[in-house]
């Protein structure tokens, strides 16, 4: 079987034109104990922000669940541009369990189907989630390329031009190893990212933020907003446990070069103060935004730093409308806007 690189496929950057945004409607009470209704309300806000920008495709559990979701969207005033698809899931984190979409030289769209094991086998079962990429590829009638290793969409960040950011704490973690797979190494993972995502240059960061159960997904700490510009979360309080790892990541970024040897333009992005929901410190980060056609969904937490973060993002995303999404209920589930979305590129 040829790899996507051998087939000439490319992983487009998130800011390139989309055909659609994929969501998986939240339904798992154990993910949002006592806050599932709030998570659903945040989803209706995300759908509202996306309407008119691109198609919104939503996975639901069954026909009864489809009726419920349609009712919630109708109550919120949504109409048009939304399609519901019965694709059962274990949970709502489509960034991680859904396909990573690739394009070919003729503008065709393909699905890369990486294995999914619930972030190192933390939350069984995950069989339904692992089947989602092939289900979506079948629905869209697109080629599907199944990889023989675990990789989550939130663990990788690409600029569409051969440079990929990731974290050693996640990609080298032994809990992602499948039976018979050799120990993970930087060299082995770089080769996989090259063959499957066209990564000519892999930039390695260190640890993620407190409360992140993914072992340090990059989409909570550093994001590309253009080919050479990245926003990097910073925590100014030395007493906060996020201060040191984020400072270390910032230092690394300022010394990094892309696949063509060019330095990155690193823009600091503030962290919110510690966000506690029902006594649990959640992995709240403004970096967990999502770039759709002409709009950016940005998690906000009802704190003064919301406006500072939005001001930074307005500067680096001048061509996009910012849609603040109240995310306190979302981050109780240990993720936010980016974790809950997956972009399908426009293709030809």
Q: What is the pLDDT of residue 136?
A: 98
Q: At residue 236, does pLDDT exceed 90?
A: yes
Q: What is the pLDDT of residue 1?
A: 85
Residue 28 banded pLDDT, cuts 50, 70, 90: very high
Q: For residue 23, tell me if it sits in a domain.
A: yes
Mean pLDDT of the chain: 97
Q: For residue 12, tell me if it sits in a domain.
A: no
The domain total for the chain is 1
Q: For residue 296, tell me if it sits in a domain.
A: yes
Q: How far apart are CA 214 and CA 334, in angstroms?
A: 9
Q: Can you say how many angstroms the Cα of residue 53 is from the centroid of all Cα atoms in its chain?
A: 19
CB 329 within 8 A of CB 276: no
Q: What is the pLDDT of residue 78?
A: 84
Residue 261 CB: number of other CB atoms within 10 A?
A: 7
Q: At residue 79, does pLDDT exceed 80?
A: no
Q: For residue 9, tell me if it sits in a domain.
A: no
CA triple 88-9-255, angle to 5 deg: 100
Q: What is the pLDDT averaged over residues 7-22? A: 98
Sheet with strand 321-326: strands edge to edge: 290-292, 295-300, 321-326
Task: Report, as residue numbers or ranges, the catalytic residues.
Answer: 339
Q: How far apart are CA 159 and CA 313, in angstroms?
A: 17
Burial 307-326 (b: 16+ CB within 10 A, else e): eebbebbeebbeebebbbbe
Q: What is the pLDDT averaged over residues 3-9? A: 98
User: On the CB side of 230, how many CA atoms lie within 13 Å of its CA?
Assistant: 30
Q: At residue 347, does pLDDT exceed 90?
A: no
- In the chain, what percentage of residues exceed pLDDT 90? 98
Structure tokens at 93: 């984190």
Quote the DSSP letter at residue 262: P
Q: How far apart are CA 159 and CA 13, in angstroms?
A: 5
Q: For residue 231, tell me if it sits in a domain.
A: yes
Q: For residue 145, tell me if it sits in a domain.
A: yes
**What is the value of pTM for the model shown?**
0.98
Q: How far apart are CA 22 and CA 82, in angstroms?
A: 10
Residue 80 banded pLDDT, cuts 50, 70, 90: confident
Q: At residue 172, does pLDDT exceed 80?
A: yes
Q: At residue 348, does pLDDT exceed 80?
A: no
Residue 186 banded pLDDT, cuts 50, 70, 90: very high
- At 242, which CATH number? 3.75.10.10
Q: What is the pLDDT averaged over residues 236-251? A: 97
Residue 85 banded pLDDT, cuts 50, 70, 90: very high
Structure tokens at 205: 């960061």
CB 177 within 8 A of CB 215: no
Q: What is the pLDDT of residue 223?
A: 98
Residue 98 CB: number of other CB atoms within 10 A?
A: 29
Q: Is 338 exposed, middle or buried (0-12, 13-18, 19+ CB in 10 A)?
A: buried
Residue with tokens 């300022």: 254
Q: For residue 4, tell me if it sits in a domain.
A: no
- In the chain, what percentage of residues exceed pLDDT 70? 100
Question: Could you tell me the residue range of the domain that residue 300 belongs to?
Answer: 18-345
Q: For residue 297, tell me if it sits in a domain.
A: yes
Q: Residue 145: which of 95, 197, 105 has the closest Cα?
A: 197
Q: What is the pLDDT averaged over residues 165-194? A: 97
User: On the CB side of 96, how many CA atoms lie within 13 Å of its CA?
Assistant: 30
């Amino acid at each position: 079987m040829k790899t996507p690189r051998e087939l000439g496929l490319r992983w487009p950057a998130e800011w390139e034109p989309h055909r659609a945004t994929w969501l998986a409607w939240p339904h798992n009470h154990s993910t949002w104990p006592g806050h599932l209704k709030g998570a659903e309300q945040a989803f209706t806000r995300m759908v509202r922000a996306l309407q008119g920008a691109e198609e919104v495709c939503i996975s639901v559990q069954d026909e009864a669940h489809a009726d419920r979701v349609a009712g919630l969207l109708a109550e919120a005033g949504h109409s048009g541009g939304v399609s519901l698809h019965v694709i059962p899931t274990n949970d709502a984190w489509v960034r991680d369990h859904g396909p990573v979409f690739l394009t070919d030289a003729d503008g065709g769209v393909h699905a890369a189907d990486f294995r999914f094991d619930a972030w190192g086998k933390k939350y069984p079962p995950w069989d339904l989630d692992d089947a989602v990429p092939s289900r979506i590829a079948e629905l869209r009638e697109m080629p599907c390329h199944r990889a023989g290793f675990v990789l989550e969409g939130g663990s990788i960040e690409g600029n569409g031009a051969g440079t990929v950011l990731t974290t050693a704490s996640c990609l080298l973690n032994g809990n992602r190893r499948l039976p018979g797979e050799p120990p993970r190494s930087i060299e082995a993972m770089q080769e996989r990212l090259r063959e499957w995502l066209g990564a000519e240059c892999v930039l390695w960061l260190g640890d993620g933020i407190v409360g992140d159960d993914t072992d340090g997904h990059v989409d909570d700490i550093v994001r590309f907003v253009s080919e050479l510009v990245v926003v990097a979360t910073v925590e100014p309080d030395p007493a906060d446990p996020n201060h040191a790892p984020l400072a270390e990541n910032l230092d690394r970024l300022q010394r990094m070069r892309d696949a063509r040897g060019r330095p990155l333009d690193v823009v600091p992005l503030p962290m919110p103060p510690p966000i506690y929901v029902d006594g649990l410190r959640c992995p709240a980060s403004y970096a967990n935004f999502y770039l759709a056609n002409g709009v950016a969904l940005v998690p906000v937490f009802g704190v003064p730093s919301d406006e500072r973060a939005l001001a930074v993002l307005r500067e680096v995303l001048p061509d996009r409308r910012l849609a603040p999404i109240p995310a306190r209920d979302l981050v109780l589930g240990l993720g936010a806007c980016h974790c809950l979305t997956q972009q399908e590129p426009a293709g030809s």
